Structure 1
Amino acid sequence: MKNQQPAAAQRRNAARIKRQKQRRRRKMIRRLLTVLLIVAAISGIAALGFIAKDLIFKEPVQAYNISKEFTGSQVSASEGKAKLFASDLCVVTEDILLDQVSLEENQTGLLFDISDKKVIYSKGAYTRVYPASITKIMTALLAFKYGNMDDVVTITEENVTLEEGSQVIGFLAGDKVTMDELVHGLLVYSGNDAASAIATHIGLTTEKFVEMMNSYAKELGCTGTHFTNPHGLQDENHYTTPYDIYLMLKEALQYPEFTEITQLGSYTISYERSWGEEVSTSLLATDHYLTGEANAPKGITILGGKTGTTSDAGNCLALLSQNAYGEPYVSIVMGASTKELLYQQMSALLENANNE
């Protein structure tokens, strides 16, 4: 019996030690599993975060601005990265000049093949310029996006109180004009009173409408644009870039009404005076290609666009066109010293659309 007791005690002790080892092993396994679960949870949250960010906060493709990320020798590495940022846009990484196109030193311009995303010509694409009435492209975009063309707009005193010499249709306070007629007056004749009336009708105030203009510009990827008014009258804080104008024109292609209106060489606008008289006024387009005062190169069809002229901006023209093969192009010339020079330079640009 004396020999059996120590043996039994040894067995119990061995069993106890085995249980302790098993408990420690289970604890270690639980701790390891806990750590793994925490890591998995964190990874899952991060993945969900990225997915949520992509779905909820996804923004339109923005223009890739070379000046923000690359300088000097780094420019040569930019094209591949640019494609990731702007796969559906023409991407400008440097000036591309043509012998037959001569812009003056302070002028800017571009010619893009928007089907093949090809930059054919570029001079100062990201240079800050005054847009003058090219501003009205954005005003028209907001009218199409938020306006009802059948709405009847009552002209206010604010709409007709503009700087002396301003291009106006001739509305008087109290006149009643449909939104459709206002947009025609805006794009065909470049009426500043039409621009002001559209702004106060859609934005309720000019200030609110200008906020909408700047917000929409950001949505389109316009990184070098800031508006202070809906018509383009001179203001040092009212500016854009040729590349941003391209982005606005590209967006305008989403609205068939834009090119339908901007192809018109003239338009008769009809509206009602405050005292009930029906008025019709003939308006001549400001685009000389449309009025026959300038001739586009053979095979080029002008689809629309916008002119702009002030003493500070010079003579400007932004066009949507197509070549003899029906391929669409954007061409922009900013800051010409005369209208004659403007159309000579634009025609020289458009000649290259047929050479592609």
Structure 2
Amino acid sequence: MKCINKRLITLVTALLSIASLTACGSSSYAIPYSTESVYTSISSDMLDTFASDLCVVGSDITDSNISMSKNSCAGLFDLNNRETLYALNVNEQVDPASLTKIMTALVALKYGSLDQILTATKAVNINESGAQLIGLKEGDTMTLDQALHILLIYSANDAGMLIADNVGGSVDEFVNLMNEEAKEIGATKCHFANPHGLTQEDHYVTAYDMYLIFNAAMQYDVFQEIINMSGYTTVYTRKDGSSVEVDVKSTNGYLRGDRQAPSSITVIGGKTGTTNAAGHCLILLAKDSSGNPYIAVIMRAEDGDTLYSEMTALLYKITQS
């Protein structure tokens, strides 16, 4: 399914008016859109006329050659040709787990500065069993740049709280910014309740909205640089002035070398997410042998092996497009 091209448009109907939508990849839209309330009301001819640089999809676009469990939510988006190559359950609202941290990074990059000093409060105290943590304590300090690396590479939940509390002024206010930003970029079927993705009521997203959020985050060079890193080493400061060294490895199996993409595909980077409620999730930026970029996302896979086998199959479709 082709993508639609964002122009200054006005559709005068009793229920619909869209205007002043900006070009693909920009970090904001004057008026958010909804695949449910807008695109399903517009004919394919109108979509071609009132187009944007974003891929859209209103129904499943599957391929019998791709083995994908019915429970998974999956999408493959050709960024240059603005075309959805594969879609399964992409508009179904599901738990995002740590894919949430992409929105956290996007909001932090928009409203914070990389050299901003963050100071940990009690907000970093996360007691959930099995939660990925870097071990922050009240009074610890590091820069936003350091925290973003730890957040996106290692997926530390306490780093997410550190960022939210400092950039937003409070965690609650930062979460409000996350939801405002989601609407601004057109991700209208999601809602965030925290900045890390641990299971919480009223915290959900769709695979399509994750594509929109990831696409928006990629407009920041530092985001692309961080998600491409297989590891990260830094030093932050305790309240008493002592130093703490951090040496973390990526949670992304392709970057760690544990998993292999198709030979003609290069995985630039992405974000993983896993909770009992969300299952196993992964979103990637990948390029073909000509350097053309694609976003691939899989959510709610039943286990890690299934996640990577399905993602590899999805990436293989790039070689056939």
Deviations 1:57-87 (A, max 9, x none): x94475551x43577xx8xx73223345542
Does residue 354 of structure 1 match 2:319? yes
- Percent identity between the two aligned chains: 42
Cα distance in 1 for residues equivalent to 2:19 and 2:302: 47
| Aligned-partner SS, 1:109 | strand
Deviations 1:140-159 (A, max 9, x none): 01111111111111111211
Following TM superposition, by how much is the alpha carbon of 1:100 offset from its aligned partner in structure 2, in angstroms? 2.3
Kindly report structure 1 stretches of 4+ aligned residues shifted beyond 4 Å: 61-64
| Aligned-partner SS, 1:308 | strand
Cα distance in 2 for residues equivalent to 1:138 and 1:195: 11
Following TM superposition, by how much is the alpha carbon of 1:282 offset from its aligned partner in structure 2, in angstroms? 0.9
Following TM superposition, by how much is the alpha carbon of 1:129 offset from its aligned partner in structure 2, in angstroms? 0.9
Q: 1:230 aligns to what?
A: 195
Q: 2:118 aligns to what?
A: 153
Does residue 142 of structure 1 match 2:128? no
Q: 1:331 aligns to what?
A: 296
| Aligned-partner SS, 1:281 | strand
Q: 1:165 aligns to what?
A: 130
Q: 2:229 aligns to what?
A: 264
Whether the aligned pair in 2 keeps the contact of 1:62 and 1:85 (CA below 8 Å) is no
Does residue 220 of structure 1 match 2:185? yes
- Range 283-292 or range 150-159, more displaced: 150-159
Cα distance in 2 for residues equivalent to 1:116 and 1:79: 17
TM-score by length of 2: 0.88
| Aligned-partner SS, 2:245 | strand
Which of 250, 272, 275 does residue 240 from structure 2 map onto? Answer: 275
| Aligned-partner SS, 1:68 | coil
Whether the aligned pair in 1 keeps the contact of 2:34 and 2:188 (CA below 8 Å) is no
CA-atom RMSD in angstroms: 2.1
Q: 2:10 aligns to what?
A: none
Structure 2 residue runs without a partner (length 5+)? 1-17, 21-27
Sort the Cα spacing of 1:64 and 1:238 in 2 relative to 1 into closer, same or farther, 3 A. Answer: closer
Following TM superposition, by how much is the alpha carbon of 1:341 offset from its aligned partner in structure 2, in angstroms? 1.0
Q: Which amino acid aligns with 1:180?
A: D
Q: 1:240 aligns to what?
A: 205
Whether the aligned pair in 1 keeps the contact of 2:96 and 2:204 (CA below 8 Å) is yes
Whether the aligned pair in 1 keeps the contact of 2:193 and 2:200 (CA below 8 Å) is yes
Does residue 182 of structure 1 match 2:147? yes
- Higher RCO, 1 vs 2 (CA within 8 Å, ≥6 residues apart): 2
Q: 1:284 aligns to what?
A: 249
Which of 93, 96, 107 does residue 128 from structure 1 map onto? Answer: 93
Q: Which amino acid aligns with 1:322?
A: K
Deviations 1:91-116 (A, max 9, x none): 21321111222221221101010110
TM-score by length of 1: 0.79
Whether the aligned pair in 2 keeps the contact of 1:189 and 1:285 (CA below 8 Å) is yes
Whether the aligned pair in 1 keeps the contact of 2:29 and 2:185 (CA below 8 Å) is no
Whether the aligned pair in 2 keeps the contact of 1:131 and 1:313 (CA below 8 Å) is yes
Q: Which amino acid aligns with 1:102?
A: S
Q: 1:112 aligns to what?
A: 77
- Range 83-92 or range 204-213, more displaced: 83-92
Cα distance in 2 for residues equivalent to 1:59 and 1:344: 35
Cα distance in 1 for residues equivalent to 2:37 and 2:108: 32
Deviations 1:293-347 (A, max 9, x none): 1111112111222111000100000111111111010101111111111011000
| Aligned-partner SS, 1:352 | helix
Which structure dedicates a bigger proportion of its chain to helix? Answer: 1
Following TM superposition, by how much is the alpha carbon of 1:164 offset from its aligned partner in structure 2, in angstroms? 2.5
Q: How many pairs align?
A: 298
Whether the aligned pair in 1 keeps the contact of 2:96 and 2:197 (CA below 8 Å) is yes
**1:55-134 to 2 correspondence within 5 Å?**
59-60=29-30, 62-63=32-33, 65=35, 67-68=36-37, 78-84=43-49, 86-134=51-99
Larger Rg: 1
Following TM superposition, by how much is the alpha carbon of 1:54 offset from its aligned partner in structure 2, in angstroms? 6.0
